Amino acid sequence: MKRCPCCGQVIPPAIQLHGPICQRIYNLLRGGPRTAEALRELVWGNRERSYSLIYAELKMVRRQLEAHHGLTITHPWRNGEYRLEAYCVNRRAA
């Protein structure tokens, strides 16, 4: 898969996911890496939603991407940003 020369993220295809929140999160991550706080603010537009909700939504998006599209969402702890990556089937077997 092609990668962005600036941030190194995979350039993902336009795909349809189940659920409007999952689709919105995927579309936001297609634009580049984002923190959990930024995703929460962009998805719900306010800060009244808990962080556990955005983590649950990210988990659902990750499951759909891994199962059907060969992509996953990674979260490097250094900068705290979530990004899309190509999913390696052999990684799970190891």
The secondary structure of 27-50 as a DSSP string is HHHHTS-EEHHHHHHHHHSSS-S-
CB-count exposure of residue 91 (10 Å: 0-12, 13-18, 19+): exposed
In this prediction, residue 88 carries a pLDDT of 60
Structural domains for the chain: 20-93 (1.10.10.10)
pTM for this structure? Answer: 0.80
Which tokens go with 45? 């537009």
Task: Provide block-wise average pLDDT over 10 residues at a time, the chain (94 residues).
Answer: 73 88 94 90 82 91 90 84 76 44
